[in-house]
């Protein structure tokens, strides 16, 4: 019995030692709770994705309507978000003082026009008198010149004396001088008339310009947009009864067909973005191609704003501030080994992944060195071969094992 007990104890000890040397059984993973991907070789597009963004107006699509005069808001006809055209009245303003100034400008223009016509009539009458006097001098000159020529002929024939000829010649010469002076006087008078009329006409133009200014200001009391688009909210909304000064923003209209996408990209991913890179913007009602036009140098809450110009038409319902998603193509890599991007792991690092067995019943842990990453894919540098299947989902709960079973 003693030997039997000793033998049984020895067998039990050997069995216990053997069991202690056995590795723990591989845990079982439900295949429905994981996702996998197969390693592929070929071209890979590196992309970055913006999960947040919005459509914003381009710099050339905003019309800001300022107040042309001091006035009071008496009626608001259209609220922000409405679609407007140049025929849409946005709001009504009132300015009693402007109405008085407009009436005064109308009367001032009429008075200036009347003064111009009166001066013109007076100057033309004076000029006519001078022309009449000049015509008389011309007539006398022609008659005396003819008389002098006749007396010269008679003097040569000895019919009249030299004294009579000299007298008629002197009279003709004197009238010739008067004729020259009258012509010069008319020319000087005409220039003086032009100067005086120009001065009076300038007063008329000044009065007309003042009237045009007041008429435009009066017309601006009925606020219109000059473009078609969406009425945007103001930073400081106006209220009925509010007094506005000259230059106060009354309304802001944005053209709906001139929008761009402002994408928020993580600072760590924005470093490789360049101007001109192709992009696509998802409005949740269609995807629009585009290209990068601006990268904001400022970092806000760990992100940078990247502006994307839209190269395609906007879908129906696209309005400013519409939430959008976007992706930007950084580069196109040729003939690389790549796989879907794992749930955990960064680019240019070494990852620990589970490679699925050929029979699909289990998976073992392998060390994989990865390179550049995209939104959905990552480059494989070593550790995997084309055709291998790996588990991409979070397997951190199995960090203490090297194998798992799949069912």
Q: Domain 97-219 has what CATH class?
A: mainly alpha
Q: Is the predicted pLDDT of residue 174 greater than 50, yes or no?
A: yes
Question: Comparing C-alpha atoms, which of 80, 94, 322, 99 is closest to residue 225?
Answer: 80
Contact status, residue 341 vs residue 43, Cβ threshold 8 Å: no
Q: What is the mean pLDDT of the chain?
A: 86
Interval 34-70: pLDDT, tens? 999 999 999 999 999 997 999 999 988 889 999 989 9
Q: Is the predicted pLDDT of residue 30 greater than 70, yes or no?
A: yes
β-strand pairing of 28-29 with 403-406: parallel
Contact status, residue 337 vs residue 348, Cβ threshold 8 Å: no
Percentage of the chain beyond pLDDT 90 is 46
SS3 124: helix
| Residue ranges in 228-348 assigned as alpha helix (H) | 267-270
Q: Is the predicted pLDDT of residue 141 greater than 70, yes or no?
A: no
Residue 347's pLDDT band, with cuts at 50, 70 and 90, is confident
Q: Is the predicted pLDDT of residue 216 greater than 60, yes or no?
A: yes
Summarize the confidence of residues 170-198 as an average pLDDT: 76
CATH of segment(s) 59-95+221-254: 2.40.50.100
Q: Which pLDDT score is estimated for 386?
A: 94
CA distances from 16 to 3, 5, 60 (A): 20, 16, 83
Least confident of 10-19, 28-37, 313-322: 10-19
CATH 2.40.30.170 for domain 52-58+255-331, yes or no, is yes
Q: Where are the domains of the chain?
A: 25-44+335-406, 52-58+255-331, 59-95+221-254, 97-219
Interval 328-346: pLDDT, tens? 999 899 999 999 999 888 8
Percentage of the chain beyond pLDDT 70 is 88
CA distances from 109 to 104, 122, 188, 199, 346 (A): 9, 20, 30, 15, 78
The neighbour count for residue 372, using CB atoms within 10 Å, is 18
Q: Which pLDDT score is estimated for 5?
A: 62
Could you name the CATH architecture of 25-44+335-406? Beta Barrel (2.40)
Between residues 368 and 179, which one has the greater pLDDT?
Answer: 368
For the question of whether the overall pTM of this predicted structure is more than 0.95, the answer is no
Q: What are phi and psi of 160, to 5 degrees?
A: -120, 165
SS3 361: coil
Interval 90-99: pLDDT, tens? 999 999 998 8
Between residues 143 and 46, which one has the greater pLDDT?
Answer: 46
Residue 16's pLDDT band, with cuts at 50, 70 and 90, is low
Q: Which pLDDT score is estimated for 379?
A: 94
Q: Which pLDDT score is estimated for 165?
A: 63
Q: Is the predicted pLDDT of residue 8 greater than 70, yes or no?
A: no
Interval 116-128: pLDDT, tens? 898 888 877 777 7
CA distances from 8 to 1, 2, 15, 16, 164 (A): 10, 10, 11, 12, 186
Between residues 351 and 4, which one has the greater pLDDT?
Answer: 351
Q: Is the predicted pLDDT of residue 366 greater than 80, yes or no?
A: yes
Q: Which pLDDT score is estimated for 20?
A: 46
Summarize the confidence of residues 275-298 as an average pLDDT: 94
Residue 24's pLDDT band, with cuts at 50, 70 and 90, is low
Q: Is the predicted pLDDT of residue 219 greater than 60, yes or no?
A: yes
Interval 235-273: pLDDT, tens? 888 999 999 999 999 999 998 888 999 999 988 888 889
Between residues 389 and 13, which one has the greater pLDDT?
Answer: 389
Which helix (DSSP H) or strand (DSSP E) does residue 48 occupy? Answer: strand 40-50
Tell me the C-alpha distance between 358 and 147, whole Å: 140
Residue 227 half-sphere exposure, CB side, CA atoms within 13 Å?
17
């Amino acid at each position: 019995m003693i030997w039997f007990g000793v033998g049984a104890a020895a067998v039990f000890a050997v069995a216990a030692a053997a069991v202690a040397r056995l590795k723990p059984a591989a845990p079982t993973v439900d295949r429905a709770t994981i996702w996998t991907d197969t390693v592929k070789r070929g071209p890979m597009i590196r992309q970055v994705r913006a999960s947040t963004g919005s459509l914003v107006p381009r710099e050339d699509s905003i019309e800001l309507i300022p107040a042309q005069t001091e006035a009071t808001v008496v009626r608001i006809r259209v609220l922000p978000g409405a679609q407007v055209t140049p025929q849409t009245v946005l709001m009504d303003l009132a300015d009693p003082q402007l109405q008085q100034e407009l009436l005064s400008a109308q009367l001032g223009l009429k008075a200036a026009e009347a003064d111009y016509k009166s001066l013109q009539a007076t100057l033309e009458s004076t000029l006519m008198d001078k022309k009449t006097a000049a015509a008389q001098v011309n007539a006398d000159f022609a008659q005396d010149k003819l008389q002098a020529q006749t007396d010269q002929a008679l003097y040569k024939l000895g019919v009249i004396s030299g004294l009579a000829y000299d007298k008629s010649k002197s009279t003709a010469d004197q009238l010739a001088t008067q004729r020259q002076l009258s012509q010069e006087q008319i020319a000087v008078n005409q220039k003086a008339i032009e100067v005086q009329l120009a001065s009076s006409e300038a007063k008329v133009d000044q009065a007309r310009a003042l009237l045009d200014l007041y008429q435009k200001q009066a017309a601006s009391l009925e606020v219109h947009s000059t473009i078609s688009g969406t009425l945007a909210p103001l930073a400081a909304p106006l209220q009925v009864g509010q007094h506005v000064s000259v230059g106060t923003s009354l309304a802001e209209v944005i053209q709906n067909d001139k929008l761009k996408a402002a994408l928020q990209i993580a600072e760590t991913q924005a470093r490789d973005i360049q101007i001109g890179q192709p992009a696509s913007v998802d409005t949740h009602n269609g995807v629009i191609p585009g290209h990068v036009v601006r990268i904001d140098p400022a970092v806000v809450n760990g992100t940078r704003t990247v502006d994307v110009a839209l190269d395609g038409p906007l879908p129906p319902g696209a309005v400013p501030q519409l939430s959008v998603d976007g992706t930007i193509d950084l580069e196109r890599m040729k003939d690389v080994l790549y796989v879907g991007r794992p749930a955990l792991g960064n680019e240019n690092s070494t990852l620990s992944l589970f490679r699925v067995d050929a029979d699909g019943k289990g998976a073992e842990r392998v060390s994989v060195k990865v390179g550049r990453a995209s939104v959905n894919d990552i480059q494989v540098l070593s550790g995997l071969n084309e055709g291998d299947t790996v588990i991409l989902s979070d397997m951190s709960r199995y960090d203490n094992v090297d194998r798992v079973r799949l069912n």
